[in-house]
Structure 1
Amino acid sequence: MQSVHRPSSGEFDPDVVRDYLDEALAYAQREDYAGWDPYDGLTSPVLDPFARNTFTRLVCMHGVHKFPANLRPLLGIEKRRNAKGIALFATSYLDAYEATGDETYLQSAESLLEWLWENRAIQSDNPSWGYPFDWQNSNKFFLPEYYPSIVASVFVAQAFVRHYDLTGDEESLEVADGTCRFIMDEINRVQVREFETFAYTPYDDYVVINANALAASLLAVVGDRTSTEEYGERADEVMAFVLDVQDEKGAWYYSEPSDQSHLSHDNFHTGFVLESIHDYLEVCPDEDLQAGYENGMQFYREELFDEGGKPRFESDKRYPRDVHASAQAIRTFVKDGSPESLALAADIFEWAMANLFDESDGHFYRRRGRVLSDKTPYMRWNQGWMCYALGTALAHAA
């Protein structure tokens, strides 16, 4: 492995980035892209008899999640493929293909996209995806394994859009179009003041800011590719809501109403919102939203990172320093493309490779804490996200 290096311009060395990406992808390939997840505790056959209501499900899920040692082997929790993680790997392969022209990357991406198509949710007539584990989202809703959600479905659809943009494959665009139909026709809608917002799933009424931003972004992008005015109009409505709930500092809470949000201004969800706005603005320019984006980017750079590219978990909470935050930030800042964002992205890359990468086998750690660190090799949360970031950096550097 080459040492991490970047010129003073804030640019990435493409050879170094590709080395890290190839090692990380090789690890994922050896594991068949299957692994544990921070929130997979409810798949334990040992805990299943106890996880029968909201409270006990939360205790079991977060007990496994937050325990200082990895209990999953003892609890019989199996490694699984996660559709969202597979989409991240597929996108990283597509980015590497764009950067290098190496057809093996494209072949790997298309194999994963085929798996995603074959493993879409059976609860919907439209292409959509969920997580491979039961999930209790605080006291808001319970989502059984594989039941579709807006966030998982958007990330998968984005991988198909990326494939269409690189190859012109109309079938991939049709998949993404089908996911837009899932969002338009099946995701619940919730009235928030004058805005008709999206819930998180077809089964709840929980209004999450980043989920709405992601949905609006996908609708705008696919609407642009397919000339579907209905998608663009709905995207405009939802993005107006996202702008409305941005506070004067340029930040977003996790959910609306903000006084009921369990997170304040956290790192990677802020990155989700900003990247979504960026992609929306590329096809739907808007002066007010552009100003909100720039205000949000300034808050993101100044309040959610410490010196040397160390990611804060929330703006008022330094630890733990999470791999998901590092990865999303690299992608968000590289896509932003401003000199200050690129310089910070390179600092984050250096910090992450020095502190979260295991050179012995190519896997990434989850997080560094003030006292304890979590080195469990989560496939989606660690490996998928960092490959996603490295693919973005490689495409930019090349």
Structure 2
Amino acid sequence: MDKYALFQERLIKNSSKNKFKGIDPYDFASSNIKMPHALLSKVSFINKISPINLRPLLKIEPSENTKSNAIFFHAMALMDSNRYAEEIKFLKNWLQDSKSPEFKYYSLGFAFEMALTRYNSGPGKTSLIISLFAMFAFFEYYKVSKDQSALELICSFEQLLEEKWLKFEEENTLWYSYLPHQKDEVYNATAKVGRFYALYYEIYPSKAIESKIIKILNYLEKVQSLDGSWGYSVKNGYVDNFHTAFVLESIHHMHQVVKTQNSTEMFENGLADYIENCFKDNIPLHFHKLHYPKDVRSKLIYTEIRDIANAIILFSKVGMLHKAETILNYSIHKYYNQKEGYFYFFNNKIYKSKINYVRWQAWMALAITEFSNKKVNEKN
């Protein structure tokens, strides 16, 4: 075990003691305070960016977190499924038992009530993004365990995408809505679906899946800006660090199945722009230097731990290990609480949010795992 894996192990052990329950930046809607949705999303944002944890006053208890459970599950399956057998069994069973009732097919949603400006969600509602993160974890788990129950969940979710999810297909392009029944064009969502199909192809290779991936790659090329960036969505043109990393990571996975000259140029241009405009030297910036939101968000968040974690994951996967390690060392120096063993949320020019959010610990556990594994494989 290398020195970085010790940080990962501490993150897992600390969270495991609490049965992986914790608080989340978006959990304000779980409080007993009732207000109109338009106001609720704004107050929720204030609660998110506050450097003071107000949850004890708001009577928001630590809760299960579907996304962090999926990411922790992924990290442990990738790192050492035998070492973490007990924790993996717990999270696998929890994820399996937490199926959303919205569809007969397997999917997941938030385990707590949450509210954003764009939409609200909570228990009982399927989230495409959360379901995909769980799928990525189950793919990794199936790879090392050959557990048929995990494969059944993967196949069930694939049926959901194929038969029920809202998607828009033309002769050469394909994209999936962020929401199941309402048109909502969010670029990284479709990219992640492409990643899902690339991993699905490893188990069930077919020309049909290959064709889906090509169409998704064509779509991502179509919606890529001239400078190589991708906005968040059709309605929100700002560019941030971690969503860009999601898109690039997904293209990298799709390229393990099929790549074209155009998709290679798309990836290279996107990666070059990401490095140039989403970083200051080797410090991840939360927003793109040129495409940032024209509101208070760009002033409040300078670097967030998801930016750090997903930059480490991306650079590890594409073989830029020195860059990944530089960012990892920076995060340990600037964002890690040595005494308590957790990573902080974000910083800006005025303050640093030092609240211990469980999902952020999961992201860093996965980032460290991805880097450590790649470093070991490079030595071998």
The two structures have a TM-score, normalised by structure 1, of: 0.87
Residue 291 of structure 1 pairs with residue 270 of structure 2: no
Q: Report the Cα offset of residue 18 of structure 1.
A: 1.2
Q: Distance in 2 between matches of 1:286 and 1:191?
A: 19
| Counterpart residue number, 2:22 | 35
Secondary structure at the residue paired with 1:152?
Answer: helix
Contact between 2:110 and 2:130, CA under 8 Å: does it hold in 1?
Answer: yes
Aligned residues: 367
Secondary structure at the residue paired with 2:79?
Answer: helix
Residue 359 of structure 1 pairs with residue 338 of structure 2: yes
Change (3 A) 1:193 1:230: closer
Q: Distance in 2 between matches of 1:130 and 1:33?
A: 16
Secondary structure at the residue paired with 1:255?
Answer: coil
Q: Report the Cα offset of residue 223 of structure 1.
A: 3.1
| Counterpart residue number, 1:334 | 316
Q: Report the Cα offset of residue 229 of structure 1.
A: 4.5
Contact between 2:49 and 2:353, CA under 8 Å: does it hold in 1?
Answer: no
Counterpart AA for 1:336? V
| Counterpart residue number, 1:153 | 131
5+ unaligned residues in a row in structure 1: which ranges?
Answer: 1-13
Contact between 1:365 and 1:376, CA under 8 Å: does it hold in 2?
Answer: yes
Deviations 1:264-323 (A, max 9, x none): 22100000001111111112232221221111111122221122x311011226942111
Change (3 A) 1:137 1:212: farther
| Counterpart residue number, 1:272 | 246
Contact between 2:67 and 2:110, CA under 8 Å: does it hold in 1?
Answer: yes
Residue 81 of structure 1 pairs with residue 64 of structure 2: yes
Q: Report the Cα offset of residue 379 of structure 1.
A: 0.4
Counterpart AA for 1:265? V
| Counterpart residue number, 2:292 | none
Secondary structure at the residue paired with 1:34?
Answer: coil
Counterpart AA for 1:176? I
Counterpart AA for 2:75? S
Q: Distance in 2 between matches of 1:354 and 1:95?
A: 25
The two structures have a TM-score, normalised by structure 2, of: 0.90
Secondary structure at the residue paired with 2:99?
Answer: coil
The structure 2 residue matched to 1:320, chosen from 291, 302, 306, is 302
Q: Report the Cα offset of residue 117 of structure 1.
A: 0.5
Q: Report the Cα offset of residue 324 of structure 1.
A: 0.6
Residue 90 of structure 1 pairs with residue 68 of structure 2: no
Q: Distance in 2 between matches of 1:387 and 1:245?
A: 32
Residue 44 of structure 1 pairs with residue 31 of structure 2: yes
Q: Report the Cα offset of residue 188 of structure 1.
A: 1.9
Q: Distance in 1 between matches of 2:170 and 2:155?
A: 26
Contact between 1:223 and 1:230, CA under 8 Å: does it hold in 2?
Answer: no
The 5 Å alignment of 1:23-172 reads: 23-45=10-32, 47=33, 49-50=34-35, 52-53=36-37, 55-97=38-80, 103-138=82-117, 140-172=118-150
The 5 Å alignment of 1:203-282 reads: 203-256=181-234, 260-261=235-236, 264-282=238-256
Counterpart AA for 1:292? M
Q: Distance in 2 between matches of 1:186 and 1:57?
A: 31
Q: Distance in 2 between matches of 1:241 and 1:92?
A: 30
Secondary structure at the residue paired with 1:91?
Answer: helix
Deviations 1:236-287 (A, max 9, x none): 322321121111221100002xxx31x5221000000011111111122322
Change (3 A) 1:136 1:207: farther
Change (3 A) 1:79 1:146: farther
Q: Report the Cα offset of residue 222 of structure 1.
A: 0.6
5+ unaligned residues in a row in structure 2: which ranges?
Answer: 290-297
Secondary structure at the residue paired with 1:164?
Answer: helix
Contact between 2:213 and 2:258, CA under 8 Å: does it hold in 1?
Answer: no
Counterpart AA for 2:358? M
Contact between 1:150 and 1:187, CA under 8 Å: does it hold in 2?
Answer: no
Counterpart AA for 2:369? G
Secondary structure at the residue paired with 1:80?
Answer: coil
Point out 4+ residue stretches in structure 1 off by more than 4 angstroms: 190-196
Contact between 2:30 and 2:114, CA under 8 Å: does it hold in 1?
Answer: no
Q: Distance in 2 between matches of 1:130 and 1:171?
A: 20
